[in-house]
Amino acid sequence: MKKQFLVQINYSWCKRCGICYRFCPTGTIKKGKLLEPVVEDHSTCIGCLMCENLCPDFAIVIVERKTIEESVEK
């Protein structure tokens, strides 16, 4: 089963520099109308952590999503 990831953006910390969407290899993070990062489809995130590591404001966190089957097994 393919791992799934969730992109969490703290907009109160974000300064809208655009680094996250410029370096996102899958285009998961896109530029919004006011230059804010926007995620429309989390399923395209591959969990490379490029956005999280490059964000100068520490405003992005990538977390692995757990499936229902994995939650039941543990």
Residue 5, number of CB atoms within 10 A of its CB? 18
Helix or strand holding residue 54 (H, E) = helix 50-54
Beta bridge partners of 62: 7
**Global confidence as pTM:** 0.82
Rounded mean pLDDT of the chain? 91
* CA distances from residue 74 to 6, 7, 68 in whole angstroms, order as listed: 20, 24, 10
- Total domains in the chain come to 1
Domain containing residue 55: CATH number: 3.30.70.20
Which domain does 24 fall in, by range?
Answer: 4-73
Question: What confidence tens digit (pLDDT) does each residue in 42-64 have?
Answer: 999 999 999 999 999 999 999 99
Q: Cα–chain-centroid distance for residue 40? A: 10
